[in-house]
Amino acid sequence: MPHPAPPPPASDDVRRAGADRLSLALMDARNQTLALLARWGESSLSVPCQLGLERIEWLAGHVGWFAEWWIGRNPRRGLGRRCPPDAPRLPSVLPMADRWYHPLQAPHASRWDMPLPDLGEVRGYLLETFESTLDLLERTAADDEALYFFRAALVHEDLRGEQLVRQAQGLGLALPIPLPVAAAMREPLSLPATRWTLGTEGSTFSFDVERGHEEVDVPEFEIDAQPVTWGQYVEFVADGGYDRAELWHPQGWAWLQAQPEGRRAPRYVDQIAVGSGAVLQAHFGRPTRMASQQPVLHVCWWEADAWTRWAGRRLPTEVEWEVAATRAGSRGFRWGDVHEWTAGTLRPWTGYSPDPWTRHGDFDAEPLFGQARVLRGAPYISRPRLRWPQRRGFALPGRDDLFTGFRSCAV
């Protein structure tokens, strides 16, 4: 199961890995997937048809389909990122695979009505396609284009694993995943002005929204050494933060008023005792007391923005976050406990081009340009190989089912 880690040094070993290391990582990802599916299979929980949720049988089959579609059935996989998304494919080992698991042929709402194979049957499909993937990997040239879709399949499976964990949290499925360790608070860090290059280029695997090139002048700034904690957030709640419209962006206030039962705390919180500061939040189905120095968890962007207004601070820009994560680790900059909201709205950088494998799926950024907010870092449920300082996530500002928190900067 995923487990928390200290502020992670960026490791791009797997993103640059050759066949031997990739095969081990793919095995690890598949074992994680099967362990999570076993937990779901043992439970009596059913997943409702809602945006942000997926039928478990569909998710399981889609993981196998993805690798088969982009690797086993794709004669042009050696082109890497230059492979046309609609290139002709070989037949699947599962005759109905495309009808069931291709996102364009199986729209989200239709997945609950399909006669999908059960988890036991899906395991056979996962095994057969996985053996094919490893066999092809063993015979693949040791260059970045040839290995591109193997690396993409690894990242995709890790991301789907996170999705299974998020759904477990949302529906109360017990998983043995510990919370981040509460750490001693450090004073905010001051960083000098600099000129910074955003974007990744070259052969290292990265998401399409991370690629490109942006030169940015960054003035001197002060940033929290760690994400905002429960102890800090409870003060906002105690001061009527959820009742004061002046603290909220107008769209954020509208979001808050639309929430059921007069929301007065982050998602999954069962109780906040403003006098004592005690917080009870459901954690994989179990009411759990949150330590005051643990990062606040399951806040949306609107809540993060309101807290910073109340505190007389602001959210960091994504370039400030990246500069601090890259340069201030030795000074106590801690990240890797929560996925962190930043001030930025998602937009492409100069030189952006979409990945073939993200088109029209859950990880397609283009429909959300100008709407989604940028997330930096990684949550404690992420595999260590998914953590690098340049990782650029995104989500609509009202999403609070993610393992999200935030930190602040001086105004």
Q: What is the pLDDT of residues 75-122, one digit of tens each?
A: 999 999 999 999 999 999 999 999 999 999 999 999 999 999 999 999
- The percent helix, strand, coil of the chain (3-state, each to 5) is 40, 15, 45
Mean pLDDT of 141-170: 97
**pLDDT for the residue numbered 7:** 38
Residue 201 pLDDT class (50, 70, 90 cuts): confident
Distance separating alpha carbons of residues 77 and 87, to the nearest angstrom: 9
In sequence order, what are the beta bridge partners of 185?
none
φ/ψ of 41, rounded to 5, equals: -65, -30
pLDDT score, position 325:
98
pLDDT band at 12, cuts 50/70/90? low
Cβ contacts of residue 70 below 8 Å, gap of 6+? 77, 149, 152, 153, 356, 357
Q: Which helix (H) or strand (E) holds 341?
A: strand 339-345
Q: What is the percentage of the chain residues whose pLDDT exceeds 70? A: 97
Indicate the average pLDDT of the chain.
94
**Residue pointed to by tokens 């089912």:** 401
Residue 288's SS3 state is strand
Domain 189-410 class, CATH top level: alpha beta
Who's near 67: CB < 8 A, 6+ residues apart? Answer: 129, 130, 133, 153, 156, 157
**Any residues with CB less than 8 A from the CB of 167 and at least 6 apart, and which?**
47, 53, 54, 56, 173
pLDDT higher than threshold 90 for residue 16: no
Segment 169-185 mean pLDDT: 95
Q: Cα angle at 78 between 75 and 80, to 5 degrees?
A: 115
Query: Domain-by-domain residue ranges, the chain?
Result: 14-171, 189-410
pLDDT at position 4 is 33
What tens digit of pLDDT does each residue of 346-385 get? 999 999 999 999 988 899 999 999 999 999 999 999 999 9
Q: What is the rounded distance in angstroms from the CA atom of residue 220 to the CA atom of residue 230? A: 28
| pLDDT of res. 31 | 97
